[in-house]
Amino acid sequence: MDWHHPINNSRAKTPMRISNLSTLCWAALPTRTLPIHGTVMALAVLFLNGAPAQAAGLVMSISNSSISAAPGSTGSFEILLSDTDTAGSTPFYIASDFVDLTSSNSLVKFTGASITTSIDPYIFAGQSLVGNSGLGFTFVINPSTMPLPGTEIQTQDSAYSANPPAVYATLKPGEVLSLGVFSYSVSASAAPGASSDVKIGILSQLTDNNTNNPANINFTTQNATITVSSAGTVPEPSTALMGMIALTMGVVAARCRRRA
């Protein structure tokens, strides 16, 4: 199997990893480790023999970069992971992901997230730790310290297998996979023309499939803007329609004059 070669780590803050699991937890989790998130998020510099794996062509993006939404409306978008490398390049082998999204103001708030995607296949479809019934893992994390609706949302998932060897998602050059669908609401009092920037935060993380020495995978991000549209705007009538109205009014006026 081809492994990614490490490059310099451009991310100083990453979620802390589990280093010692009980026998029960170890049986339920994949052989790789997952981020820990408590009441107060534990952040630490991750010291590994290898730094993030090279990912020049890996892009994490919001499915619609420019969203128009009316005051009081709701909507959703997906976070997509694209391998833009040329055909024949080495695929990316992804074992886990952590997504951190922020909204620049309270006009737009996140309301939830799901692994039931529709734009592109979910990255861990059929092997999701979150989706494996009975394990009790949730997709959205930190509900006590980061309640929804809110201006920040964090999710995480991992490839899971009850039996070794460990599993992972393979992303080939030219392919696109989804990291989840995220829902939002727009304030009913939002003024038309106002906007909120939705950003993929610096805590977002991808982990490779090296079970002996897992490393972060570098990627670039593409964010989005949600702009409040005018509510209840009546479209201007077309030129042809205006002409028909004028003609009708002229006929009616002529009949009225004859009767007089």
What pLDDT does 212 receive?
A: 85
Number of domains forming the structure of the chain: 1
Query: Does residue 47 lie in a domain region?
Result: yes
In whole angstroms, give the CA distance from residue 10 to residue 52: 8
First to last CA, the chain: 96
In this prediction the pTM is 0.71
Task: Convert the pLDDT of each residue in 132-184 to its tens digit.
Answer: 989 999 999 998 899 999 999 999 999 999 887 889 999 999 999 999 999 99
Helix (H) or strand (E) holding 59: strand 58-62
- Tokens in use for 233? 């705007």
- Mean pLDDT check: name the lowest of 20-24, 52-56, 153-157: 20-24
Structure confidence at residue 143 (pLDDT): 84
In a domain, 4, yes or no: no
Lowest mean pLDDT of 4-8, 106-110, 173-177, name the range.
4-8
Position 2 in a domain: no
Read off φ and ψ for residue 186, nearest 5 degrees: -110, 135
Q: Please name the amino acid found at residue 154.
A: Q
In a domain, 131, yes or no: yes
The reply to whether 61 falls in a domain is yes
Token pair of 123, please?
């990255």
Mean of the pLDDT values across residues 89-106? 97
Per residue in 188-225, pLDDT tens?
999 999 999 999 999 999 999 998 888 999 999 999 99
Q: Does residue 9 lie in a domain region?
A: no
Sequence length of the chain is 260
Domain at 100, CATH number: 2.60.40.680
Average pLDDT on 13-18 reads 38
Rounded to whole angstroms, how far apart are CA atoms 50 and 162?
28
Report yes or no on 224 lying in a domain. yes
Least confident of 94-98, 138-142, 232-236: 232-236
CA gap 64, 59 in Å, rounded: 14
Neighbouring C-beta atoms of residue 55, cutoff 10 Å: 21
Residue 7 lies in a domain: no
* Cα–Cα distance for residue pair 170/172, rounded to 1 Å: 6
> Residue 238 sits in which domain range?
14-259
